[in-house]
Amino acid sequence: MDDAQGKNWTYLFNDLPTTQAAYLEWLTAHAAKPDPMPHAIIDLASGKAVGLASFMRIDTGNGVVEVGHINYSPRLQRQRAATEAMYLMMRRVFDELGYRRYEWKCDALNAPSRGAARRYGFRFEGVFRKAVMYKGRARDTAWFAITDNEWPAVREAFERWLAPENFDAAGQQRSSLAAAQE
């Protein structure tokens, strides 16, 4: 197991399942519902699942969906594929499904998640104080979003960043996603 201590689960609503069977049971229950809608992130080289992200709080009537329950294994974290997975989910939301708003919410204490949201082009909208209870405490929730009118510029930045010429022979980026957004 890549995350044996469960650090990736610190800010998720569930605790790290203690066995692979318990994880599969949780995942099966998670996937059986229409909302949230989990997406496995597969490493194409190995064929192994290395992450999970879900569409949730799906509101088709208002054209709003949230991305959440993001859990990247250490093998996926800080990799090009991690960014590409978020881009593909955004492209599905805006270009295929025609949604107006894509949200990212996280525990206000989760600095890595807040940084990732900003890096991916989400705009910070504020903190909802004591928004939910989980793991025995009240959680302040930081809200971020991208809207359909912002999406073309965000999509263009992702496509510039993901372009093969932005990576050297060792797979290292030549220019950051932040620079692509300028």
pLDDT tens profile 118-167: 999 999 999 999 988 887 888 899 999 999 999 999 999 999 999 999 99
Question: How many whole angstroms separate alpha carbon 53 and alpha carbon 93?
Answer: 13
Tens digit of pLDDT for each residue in 29-86?
888 888 899 999 998 888 999 999 999 999 999 999 999 988 888 888 888 999 999 9
Q: What is the CA radius of gyration of the chain?
A: 17
Walk me through the domains of the chain, giving residue ranges and CATH numbers: 7-180 (3.40.630.30)
**Six token digits for residue 50:** 């290395």
Element (H, E) at 115: helix 111-119
pLDDT score at 13? 59
Owner of token pair 């990732």: 116
Cβ(113)–Cβ(70) below 8 Å: yes
Strand 123-134 with 101-107, pairing: unpaired
172 vs 2, 100, 157, 162, CA distance in Å? 23, 33, 17, 11
CA-wise closest residue to 99 among 66, 68, 130: 66
What residues contact residue 155 under an 8 Å CB cut-off, 6+ apart? 87, 90, 91, 94, 95
Cβ(181)–Cβ(158) below 8 Å: no
pLDDT score at 1? 44
pLDDT score at 74? 82
Owner of token pair 């208002």: 62
